[in-house]
Structure 1
Amino acid sequence: MFFREIIRNSFVLVGYSAAGKWSGDIVYPIPELWAKSQKFISKGNIDEIVGVCLPPRSDHYFYTCGIEMQSVDFHKIEKGLTLHTFPKQKYVVFKHVGPSKEIPNTYGELWMVFDKEGYTIKEGMPEIEIVKADMFGKEETNEYEMEIWIPVE
């Protein structure tokens, strides 16, 4: 599986957030958060939707799905949205191609590569998922693409 290393500058994310978990009674809010975030696209000038998961590779997590801003812009923050700022960080970036239902398989493959390459997750930093706006509506097709960014030491 191909990947690349990138230093990402600090960024601000505004979006919808919820806690989730994979163990016990599964709580999986991510599809609902992505659906809510589609309304950002309808307001125009949005190139991509960004999902952030804290902590990465965890059965219990806090997920935010929204848009990146260059700086805090309070007039764009509507009721129910959360705002997060993240510092500059090094990431390894993988790409998922194919229906969204296959994303868990991509994660399984990328974690094997991640471990084999000897990477260590940078504690306290977010895992990031980036989807271009033109991918909405293509989630169940073979054309669907997204990037998965894993923070590293």
Structure 2
Amino acid sequence: MEFKEMVKEAFVVVGYSAPGSWGGDFAYPIPGLWEKAKEFITTDQVDQIVGVCLPPRSDDYYYTCGVEMDSVAFRRMRKDVTVHLFKKQKYVVFKHTGPSQNISATYHKLWKVFDEEGYLIEKGMPEIEVVNAHLFGKEDSGEYEMDIWIPVGEHPHA
């Protein structure tokens, strides 16, 4: 599985948030948050929807789905959204291609590559999922794509 290393400048995510769990008390809010965040495409004319997950690779997490902004116009914000600020960070970026129901298989492959390459997750930073607006409504097709950004600390082999 191919990937690339990238540095992402500090950014703000404004969106809808909920806790989730893969454990025994299964709560999976992510599809509903993506569905709700679609409104940003038409209301705010955005090109991408962004999901952030804290902490990465965890059974219990906090997920936000919304839009990335350079700054926040707080007076224009809706009452039911959350705001998160993240510092500049190095990431390894993978690409999922194909129907959205296959995303878990992509994650299985990327975590294997991540571990084989000796990367370590940077604590306190989000895992990021990015989907271009023109792909909404095509989640079941082979052309659907999602970029998956995993935050990394210093590479132990460097």
Using structure 1 for the length normalisation, give the TM-score. 0.98
Do structure 1's residue 27 and structure 2's residue 27 form an aligned pair? yes
Structure 2 counterparts to residues 3-152 of structure 1, below 5 A: 3-152=3-152
Following the alignment from structure 1 to structure 2, what is the Cα–Cα distance between the partners of residues 63 and 120?
A: 21
CA distance in 2, matches of 1:99, 1:119: 27
Match of 1:124, SS? Answer: coil
**SS of residue in 2 equivalent to 1:16:** strand
**Where in structure 1 do 4 or more consecutive aligned residues deviate above 3 Å?**
none
Shift of residue 43, structure 1, vs aligned partner: 1.5
Shift, 1:60, TM fit = 0.1
- Does the residue aligned with 1:101 lie in a helix, a strand or coil? helix
- Aligned counterparts of 1:112 and 1:76: Cα–Cα separation in 2: 42
Hey, what's the Cα distance between the residues in 1 that align with 2:76 and 2:42? Answer: 14
Equivalent-residue separation in structure 2 for 1:112 and 1:32 (angstroms): 28
**CA apart distance, 1:72:** 1.9
Q: Distance in 2 between matches of 1:31 and 1:50?
A: 13
Q: Using the TM superposition, give the Cα deviation of residue 73 of structure 1 relative to its aligned residue in structure 2, in angstroms.
A: 1.5
> Alignment partner of 1:17: what SS?
strand
Percent identity for Structure 1 against Structure 2: 61
TM-score (norm 2): 0.95
Instruction: After superposing the two structures, state which structure 1 stretch, 134-143 or 41-50, moved more.
Output: 41-50
- Residues 37-63 of structure 1 show CA distances to partners (whole Å, capped at 9, x for unaligned) of 001111243010000000000000000
Over 3 Å counting, the alpha-carbon distance change for 1:76 and 1:68 in structure 2 is: farther
2:88 & 2:44 partners in 1: Cα distance? 27
CA distance in 2, matches of 1:107, 1:92: 13
Where 1:122 maps in the other structure, the secondary structure is coil
